[in-house]
Structure 1
Amino acid sequence: MGKTVRVAIIDDHDLFVRGLELLLPEVSEGRARVVASTGDAAYAVSLVRHAVPDLVLADIHMPRPGGIQSITAIRRAAPRVRVLAMSGDDDPSVAVEALRAGAVGFLPKSSEPAGLLPLLLVAVDGWAVMPAGLLPSLTGTPALHPAADLLNEADRRLLRLIAGGASTGAIADELHVSDRTVKRLTATLLRKLRVSSRTEAAALAGSAGLL
């Protein structure tokens, strides 16, 4: 069994939090567990410093100071901790706001617990996580990206895998290369797209004519 993913939750919906606390270890066969939670966004940084999670699930819609502010504060205080924003709706505007605040992805709270584990694992591994239906909305009006002519078929294949949330290991298996090669190819792709993260690349892919 691999490393257990330590999850912290910033959410003021007690039933939702309790559900994840009970179901996540069960559906993941012990590979993910909730180590801390709070319904107070103002306490988010203290919770993260105390619990030292691998991943934080943060509800965007919370009482003041709010979920977006909690994401910003966590990223400043613990930049190595990855944050996934969550919401009860699929409003692309709040997803964009969360990404700008430092979240590595966005998940609707309607996600099935059994389907959460792969998403949590790829987020911890450094990849973007978000519903495919939101991608066209994240960069505004669809348009052909200036880098389109620079991408060859291998670049587009890699970009499709990134946009689909595949982990480094999964991409390495798919392309029959090493993890180190995947990281090198990804860095080259990000330079071509003129973006600084996999999150931005994934957001760009579905709406800018790059796939």
Structure 2
Amino acid sequence: MSHCSPIRVAVVDGQPIFARGLELLLPAATDGRAQVVGFTADAAAAASLVRRCVPDLALVDLHMPAPGGIRAVAAIRRTTPQVRIVAMSDAEDLSSPLQALEAGAEAYMPKSAEPEKLLPPLLAVLDGWAVMPTQLLSTLLRPARFPPVSLDEAERALLRSIAAGRSTLEIADQMHVSDRTVKRMSAALLRKLRVSNRAQAAALAGHAGLLDD
């Protein structure tokens, strides 16, 4: 996608001071290339906030009061599937990030990240890449998390393209089919892999032997 216009970011976080800090620091740290367009400290209001302010990205704190960040991720994914979701947390436990990816987040970043360091991963997420710390990726790639899957040649080619971070239009051009066909094939592939989004498919692509020729 084009990044000429500012990246619109919605923040769902139980700490208003964190969101306020992002609102002030993110535009300055990114030379105006990213801006906060909406904020809520209520996880139950996350989906309605995102529908209202139409962001490109939603940053969701995983450790919020009930119904919690995981439910907020799931609600946003269900109601506004075009929005990219970045889960964030200041905890070291990896169970919540894994649950967030399963609920529909495309990425996970620790809240310790400085505002000026946020732009590259946010741009990568918008381009379809899965962004997460190495430790979390290693956990995702453990063979026990994924049952053996048999893929045909077309499915392997599609999975390679997804793992490479190519957009739907790029894959359609490469395969000489319509973008609608790519979306249909991708949805079928995700179901077969028993994952819910491209981030999980990209992680699964690194599982031993899955992409071997």
The TM-score, its normalising length taken from structure 2, stands at: 0.74
Task: Specify whether residues 76 and 159 from structure 1 end up closer, same or farther in structure 2 by C-alpha distance, changes over 3 A only.
Answer: closer
Which residue number in structure 1 is paired with residue 25 of structure 2? Answer: 23
What residue number does 2:203 align with? 203
Measured in 1, the distance between the counterparts of 2:56 and 2:189 equals 30
Matches within 5 A, 1:119-198: 119-141=121-143, 161-162=164-165, 195=193, 197-198=197-198
Residue 38 and residue 141 in structure 1: after superposition, are their counterparts in 2 closer, same or farther (change >3 A)? same
Given that 1:190 and 1:201 are in contact with CA atoms closer than 8 Å, whether structure 2 keeps it comes out as no
Any stretches of 5+ residues in structure 1 without a counterpart? 169-177
**1:74 matched to 2:76:** yes
Corresponding residue pairs, total: 200
Equivalents in 1 of 2:163, 2:128: separation in Å? 16
CA distance in 1, matches of 2:158, 2:80: 32
Contact 2:88 2:110 in 1 (8 A): yes
Q: Note the C-alpha offset of 1:136.
A: 1.3
Distance in 2 between residues matched to 1:113 and 1:182, nearest whole Å: 36
Residue type of the alignment partner of 2:30: S
Structure 1: how far apart are the matches of 2:158 and 2:134?
19
Stretch deviating more after TM superposition (76-85 or 138-147): 138-147
Structure 1 position 65 matched with structure 2 position 73: no
Aligned to 1:76, the other structure's residue is in SS state helix
In 2: Cα distance, 1:122 partner to 1:67 partner: 22
Residue equivalent to 2:179: none
Q: CA deviation at 1:76?
A: 1.4
Q: Deviations over 1:123-154 (max 9, x none)?
A: 12222111122111124446996679x8xxx9
Q: Partners in 1 of 2:37 and 2:150 — Cα distance?
A: 42
1:173 paired residue number: none
TM-score normalised according to structure 1 size: 0.74
5+ unaligned residues in a row in structure 2: which ranges?
A: 177-181
Q: Distance in 1 between matches of 2:59 and 2:67?
A: 16
RMSD: 3.6
Q: CA deviation at 1:202?
A: 2.8
Does the CA-based 8 Å contact 2:160-2:205 persist in structure 1?
no
CA contact (8 A) 1:156 1:210 kept: no
* Distance (whole Å) between structure 2 residues aligned to residue 133 and residue 51 of structure 1: 33
Q: 1:47 to 1:146 in 2, by over 3 A?
A: closer
Matched position secondary structure for 1:50: helix
**Distance in structure 1 (CA, Å) of the matches to 2:171 and 2:205:** 22
Indicate if the aligned counterparts of 2:107 and 2:132 stay in contact, CA closer than 8 A.
yes
User: What is the aligned-residue identity percentage?
Assistant: 48
Which residue of 35, 38, 41 corresponds with 1:39? 41
Q: CA deviation at 1:92?
A: 2.3
3-state SS in 2 of match to 1:118:
helix
